[in-house]
Structure 1
Amino acid sequence: MLFPYGISDFSKIILNNYLYFDRTYLIPLIENTGQSILFLRPRRFGKSLIISMLENYYDIAKKDLFEKLFGHLQIGKNPTPLHNQYFILKLDFSCIGAYGDTKELQQFLIDYVNERIKKFCFDYKHIISEHVEINPDNAIASIESLLKIVSHYETSIFLLIDEYDNFTNELMLNKTTSNTNENDPYTLFVKKDGP
């Protein structure tokens, strides 16, 4: 059995027989906690792997893999009714570059969210046939288009966000290590009230 150092892809760990400490017992606790959950744990604690586990557990498109991925784990022996019942929209903000001016940062974020929506549409094209309008200048409009279409289905979206604070931490790190002025990206970013 191999040790999965640096691997946070749940299905890769299970399917390649890496060592996995079963944390699936957390799933019923998570379901009973509430609609919005924020995991605040130290770096390298395993948050990304937990998010990947949840992605595989709840994804309607991975229903056929349930037994293979979870059958030997605690939750596989006693699954909750919500397993494989959601569309998954996963965002990993470690992919957002924390450089450039405010306009560039904003565009990085918009482009990334739009790409994730396109991937969502591709992943569920066998279920969702309607076209989602992708607005290249406004990710919120793209999300609203997606939500409007998904609202016609009985399946809801399960939103998973990993590294939610990554690019803001990078901005702050750059702020503390560079000369500060009113036009630097961090100052402009935190002074802004919203869209």
Structure 2
Amino acid sequence: MASLLYFFGILTLAGLTSFDECRLRIPNLVARGLYVERLRERWLPLTESARELPEATRALGQRGDLVPLAELIEQRYFRVLSNRDYRWTNELLVKFAFLTLLFDDRLYMAVSELETERGYVDLALIVRPDKRRFQVLDLLLEFKYLSLKELGLTGEQVRERSREALAELAPVAKKLDEAEAQARAYGATLKKRYGFAELHAFAVVALGLERVVWRMLKVG
């Protein structure tokens, strides 16, 4: 499969490893965009979802409102996954969900695991220099994951509670605190590096494959 993708130009050679093995990478944003679009079609096949996504991403990118996107992930994205997927679920799956839905190379430089002086940002959406004349926010998201077993609740119990009530649970609050501390530290570094007037950061915690809770903070 790797050879086939290389032959068609979907992957390109990025050098050799210390063990003399080829390292392949996605060559450009066009190829990366093809991957993202295919994943969106697979996980959000419904026409209704296709209409909801632009509004959800606009709400976050313009107003810092994460509610529409979180509801879309809970109601559409998570529902595609089965109970067997719980075996492999962690914060990487949550980040991947947000990345595939928020990827927009027209407005943003979407960077996963962006290096800072104090660690790696889970997901940064940095407005492109030529797009700063528009009403678009620079965004930073830090993700954490709590299994239902760690939470001590069933999926039904999690779905029944409000987002505010879930955020007050001790295990959830602890994860939110951890994500917020990282978001503040990384955000301060990015603000200094890129000269942002203001950066909208989010500490996001997924509760199994059921709900998403978060805190928003402005690093400015």
TM-score, normalization by structure 2: 0.31
> Higher relative CO (CA 8 A, sep ≥ 6), structure 1 or 2?
1
Report which of the two has the higher share of strand. Answer: 2
